[in-house]
Amino acid sequence: MFVLTTLMGLLQEMSGTPYSHGYSPAGTDCSGLASLVSNVATDRPTFGNRFNTGNEESALLARGFQYGTAPGALVIGWNGGHTAVTLPDGTPVASGEGGGVRIGGGGAYQPQFTHHMYLPVDPGASENAPPPPFGPVLVNAVAPAPEPPPPPAPGPDPVELVQNELPPPPDPAPAPDQPAEAT
């Protein structure tokens, strides 16, 4: 994937640059890094249209991102104060986790992130991508209701079982209107 190669080259050049509220190859903060990664992935100018964690959702929607996560996709996770990225090949990248820009760390799947969005990629590109380390993450999702238990398996009629276990009825008694024999 050409975009992934371009992103990795840029990130390797920036790796080790300081955490900075600036937005340039010399360093950036976490949302600046997420902005430039999403810009490159969507064919926008690398250092154009910067967002922050406060307007990240609308900025990502405008770039074609969808809610949730997906294996083999570009995934961005965030909360009210931090954001990080996991590339389609599973590589995590961030700025501000123990220093400036770096390849590695928790990426988008950190438990602290309450929001996740992903950029769909070419279906063939995700065949060899590893699954997310923490499994899929659903944002604002409601768990489905549990399945009702299956009906009992059909079996013999309980009334038939009881009737089959009863002894046969006794022979009928003689009718009462018959005169008794004299002796």
The one-digit pLDDT tens for each residue of the chain (183 residues) are 557 888 888 999 999 999 988 888 899 999 999 999 999 999 999 998 899 999 999 999 999 999 999 999 999 999 989 999 999 999 999 998 878 899 988 899 999 999 999 998 765 544 455 555 544 444 444 556 667 777 777 766 655 555 556 666 667 666 666 555 555
Q: Name beta bridge partners: 95.
A: 101
Give the closest residue to 113 by CA, choosing from 57, 167, 59: 57
Angle made by CA atoms 124, 129, 131, in degrees to the nearest 5: 130
The predicted pLDDT at position 48 comes to 87
CATH assignment of 2-126, given 3.60.40.10, 3.40.50.720, 3.90.1720.10, 3.40.50.1370? 3.90.1720.10
Distance CA 75, CA 118 (A): 4
Convert 105-115 to b/e letters by CB count within 10 Å (16 or more is b). bbbbbbeebeb
The predicted pLDDT at position 157 comes to 61
The predicted pLDDT at position 163 comes to 58
Rg over CA atoms, the chain: 35
List the structure tokens of 73.
Answer: 């996709």
The predicted pLDDT at position 74 comes to 95
Domain range list for the chain:
2-126
